[in-house]
Amino acid sequence: MSLTDARSILTRPVAIVGGGPAGLMAAEVLSGAGLHVDLYDAMPSVGRKFLLAGKGGLNLTHSEPFDAFASRYGERRALITPMLERFGAAALRAWSQRLGTATFIGSSGRVFPVDLKAAPLLRAWLHRLRDQGVRFHMRHRWRGWADPETAALAFETPHGALTVHADAVVLALGGASWARLGSDGAWVPWLQSRGVELAPLRPSNCGFDAAHVDVHGQIQPGWSEHFRDRHAGAPLKNVALACVGPNGRRFHQPGEFVVTAGGVEGSLVYAASAVLRDAIEANGPAVAELDLLPGRSVEWVAREVAHPRGARSLSTHLKGRLGLDGVKAALLYELLPRAEIADPVRLAAAIKALPLTLRAPRPIDEAISTAGGVRFEAMDANGMLRAAPGVFCAGEMLDWEAPTGGYLLTACFASGVWAGEGVLRYLDHRHVANSAAPGC
């Protein structure tokens, strides 16, 4: 019996819970194969986090070579790579082009729509999904299982409680960041109640609370009032950050980030966030090293700092000889004991490796994404939960993480394709098994 024949006798639609990129891509795969698909989402409209991510310019994916791209998924590389081989950066760009949105590669290698906007792409996508028969059910909040022994779904809707029975279910509910957009992690206890193995949800691509050194040389939480009042919101450009996580995992990368009222955030900090978070969890406050002049050698910095300054103040000397002023110079006074600032040798070393103490990641709801979630060991090769036959998972609710730069979105799209095709294989296998049973 062919898969086409199997579809023709399905008694119920496939239910997808979650209207982000992973859920929508699963809907595209399934509806494109001729299945009836119902998509449920708690929000008034789908793709809200996708739209917010594209507010300043939608970074859809990245153009770097495949091996470098796959390395961005860290410990989950081996598990994410097959998804990317099936639907990676090139496939995502081609998919966008077919929806009428061309893309271009920016100077950093990141890939953007030509108009930089997420909304036109999402509108075209939803139009195609509706044309393929996908039915959208908004303001339908999943409340767990209607029956603890089956995959029947319980929803809270504007019209009261609703129970949904489906031939298969794809859960694409996101992690636990940006709860106001629908990703609130409420699904955790409902999967645990079915015996699904989960890794704790943790912030990823997040900012951190910092600490400063007071006039007595003691480390104090947060920034000093003087520094905070003058530099909160200031960008630190052309710097490099280095840190070491548990088991010797190292991070070193140039870039930029922003000083916040109590710490740091921004692209360079986000890229290091997994290493920093793990180090804090393992050992308490982590110390990163900040290179304020990554384009200059240690020897050059030492020579310029030691140059006689005469009657000039140290601040004027640093600005004139090294180009250090503003928030960069202020960080030296904020993070170094006074005796170290007064010692040219130690000061020069600190300019190339300024110790930045980070006490804790910001709360998970402030993070761009989350780590943790459904462990891959809890699923079969098709993405189906071993403890809940017929239920598949995709997107950020899986136990993986990646830095910003297009890697998050690409893997969400790819996992949606993976889950959708897993459902097709499951339904085909189930129908063949039923057809072979006595009386069929």
pTM: 0.89
Rounded Cα distance, 149 and 159, in Å:
26
198: β partners: 374
Residues 355 and 422 in one domain: no
Q: Classify the C-alpha dihedral 115-118-119-122 as positive or negative.
A: positive
**Residue 229: which H helix or E strand, with range?**
helix 225-231
Amino acid symbol at 323: G
In terms of C-beta distances under 8 Å and separation of at least 24 residues, what long-range contacts does 246-252 make, across chains too?
Answer: 246/278, 246/279, 246/282, 246/283, 249/275, 249/278, 250/275, 251/275, 251/276
The whole-number pLDDT of residue 181 equals: 84
Rounded CA gap, 56 and 60, in Å?
12
Domain boundary among 336, 361, 386: 361
Q: How many CB atoms lie within 10 A of CB 308?
A: 6
**Where does a domain end: 328, 361, 394?**
361
Q: Answer yes or no: do 303 and 163 share one domain.
A: no
At 1 the pLDDT is 32
The DSSP-derived string for 278-301 is HHHHHHSSEEEEEES-TTS-HHHH
CB neighbours of 420 closer than 8 A, spacing ≥ 6?
A: 25, 26, 27, 28, 29, 30, 170
CA distances from 322 to 193, 296, 438 (A): 60, 9, 84
Within this chain, do residues 342 and 356 fall inside the same structural domain, yes or no? yes
Q: Are 235 and 258 in contact (CB under 8 A)?
A: yes
Q: What is the DSSP string of 8-48?
A: HT--SPEEEE--SHHHHHHHHHHHHTT--EEEE-SSSSS-H
- Which domain CATH number covers 57? 3.50.50.60
Return the exposure string of 42-55: e unless at least 16 CB atoms fall within 10 Å of the residue's CB, then b. Answer: bbeebbbbbbebbe
Please indicate, yes or no, whether residues 66 and 113 belong to a single structural domain of this protein: yes
- Indicate whether 215 and 195 sit together in one domain: no
pLDDT of residue 439: 40
Q: In DSSP terms, which residues pair with 37 in a beta bridge?
A: 14
How do the pLDDT tens digits run along the chain, 440 residues long?
Answer: 344 443 443 457 999 999 999 999 999 999 999 999 999 999 999 999 899 887 878 999 999 999 999 999 999 999 999 999 999 999 999 999 999 999 999 998 999 999 999 999 999 999 999 999 999 999 999 999 998 777 799 999 999 999 999 999 999 999 998 888 888 999 999 999 999 999 999 999 999 999 999 888 888 999 999 999 999 999 999 999 999 998 888 999 999 999 999 999 999 999 999 999 999 999 999 999 999 999 999 999 999 999 998 889 999 999 999 999 999 999 999 999 999 999 999 999 999 999 999 999 999 999 999 999 999 999 999 999 999 999 999 999 999 999 999 999 999 999 999 999 999 999 986 654 444 434 43
Which residues have a Cβ under 8 Å from the Cβ of 304 and sit 6 or more positions away?
A: 321, 322, 348
CA–CA gap between residue 356 and residue 343 (Å, rounded): 19
Containing domain of residue 302, as a range? Answer: 208-361
Residues 323, 345, single domain; the answer is yes
Quick one: CA torsion of 96, 99, 102, 105, rounded to 10 degrees? -10
Q: Give yes or no: residues 112 and 223 share one domain.
A: no
Are 397 and 412 in a shared domain? Answer: yes
Q: CB–CB of 368/177 below 8 Å?
A: yes
- pLDDT per residue as tens digits for the range 318-345: 999 999 999 999 999 999 999 999 999 9
Q: How many domains does the chain have?
A: 2
Does residue 17 sit in the same domain as residue 164? Answer: yes
Tell whether the torsion through CA atoms of 359, 364, 370 and 373 is positive or negative: positive
Contact of 411 with 21, CB cutoff 8 Å: no
308 and 181 fall within a common domain: no
Confidence (pLDDT) at 121: 96
Question: 100 and 64, same structural domain?
Answer: yes
Integer Cα distance of 358 and 209 in angstroms: 6
Residues 6+ apart with CB under 8 A from 249: 275, 278
**Ordered DSSP codes for 124-155:** HHHHHHHHTT-EEETT-EEEEESSTTS--EEE
Contacts of 386 (CB under 8 A, 6+ apart): 378, 379, 380
Boundary residue ending a domain (337, 361, 385): 361
Question: How far is CA 321 from each of CA 306, 307, 314, 363, 373, rounded to the nearest angstrom?
Answer: 10, 8, 10, 40, 50
- Per-residue tokens: 221: 């939480």
Co-location of 308 and 425 in the same domain: no
Give 363-384 pLDDT, tens digit per residue: 999 999 999 999 999 999 999 9
